[in-house]
Amino acid sequence: MMPAYKRSRAVQVAGDGWPGGEVAAFAPPEWRAVLRRFLGRRAAVVASLFLLLLAAACLLAEAWVQDPNALQRGEPLSGPSQQHWFGTDELNRDVFARVLSGGRISLAVGVGVTILATAIGTVVGSIAGYRGGRLGDVLMRVVDLFLILPLLPVALVAVSVAEIGPLDLRQPLGTTLVLSFLIWTPLARIVRGTCLSLREAEFVEAARSVGASTASILRRHILPNAAGPIVINGTVLVAEVILVESAIAFLGFGAQPPTPTWGNMLANSVSNMALYPWLTVFPGLAVFSTVLAISMVGDGLRDALDPLHRRLFQ
């Protein structure tokens, strides 16, 4: 049974970053209504189906299509055909199988970083916003610090460290940790804003006065109000991380061949792009369509969670 005060609407003047700084109301999302509005957006639904299909194909690729490193019969570097949908590469490997296998890495890193970074950002943001004080100031300076470090170059330096003990930073797990560590800060700001504006709200006061612990106040009364922005930020993150991860791999600092990634397949194709364009077209198309689908889902979620926003960024 939900306590009644959880429904209270908090009103906050949105700070910097929002055009004009108008008054925006926020409240815990009503998930059933959100789902209904989301399902009403055809583009977002189609994009979700595409992503589900892609994820399933990538996960099942090796069992279902074939080993991405298996050598095929017939001519190497043959174009797309019925047998090899995306053609074959210079070692006569099936490009379709390699694209799906690379997708597993990109999707895993994208989702992994998003979960980790969301966890870090939420914890740091709520401590900085709810507790505040000296600790909060220090935490926000740390956030400022991360915001001035250019993401791609710093990530490149970090993964080029190559190994910390048993952990290879160029492998998906290592890259996931590095990127999570670099990319949690925007969410920390968002969560801090929500906590700051709600910590003096009456329903929080009420919870405090009946002896609720800080953790439970945050979890049950404050953070649900930030659920919308957290989810929206999450979809933006997945897309951004996939772009950064494939850029890292493209520059040669990701998983090393023969492990296929979208980035290293593209980098490999550059020298012979004119003769064998399918080697360039398909891995890149995979990145593009995945990121596009994630953006469409993200926009659908944004409209569903925050109908007010819709008119401005349709």
5, two tokens: 């005060």
- What gap in Å lies between CA 240 and CA 262, rounded to an integer? 15
Decide whether 215 or 312 has the Cβ nearer to other proteins: 312
Min dist CB 15 to other proteins, Å, is 10
Closest distance of CB 93 from other proteins, Å: 20
- Quote the least distance from Cβ 23 to other proteins, whole Å: 13
Q: Residue 240: what are its φ and ψ, rounded to 5°?
A: -65, -45
Instruction: Report the Cα 137 to chain-centroid distance in Å.
Output: 27
Residues that bind other proteins (CB under 8 A): 16-20, 22, 141, 144-145, 148-154, 156-158, 160-162, 164, 239, 243, 246-247, 250-253, 263, 266, 269-270, 273-274, 277, 280-281, 284-285, 287-288, 291-292, 294-296, 311-314
The distance of closest approach from Cβ of residue 190 to other proteins in the complex, given in angstroms and rounded to an integer, is 17
**Residue placing its CB nearer to other proteins in the complex, 3 or 277:** 277
Residues β-bridged to residue 232: none
Element (H, E) at 151: helix 151-160
- Give the whole-angstrom CA distance, residue 254 versus residue 280: 18
Compare residues 11 and 162 and give the one whose CB is closer to other proteins: 162
* CA 108 – CA 19 distance, rounded (Å): 35
* For other proteins, the closer CB: 28 or 260: 260
Please identify, using beta-carbon distances, which residue of 15 and 258 lies nearer to other proteins: 15
Q: Look at the block and give the residue holding tokens 């998003």.
A: 114
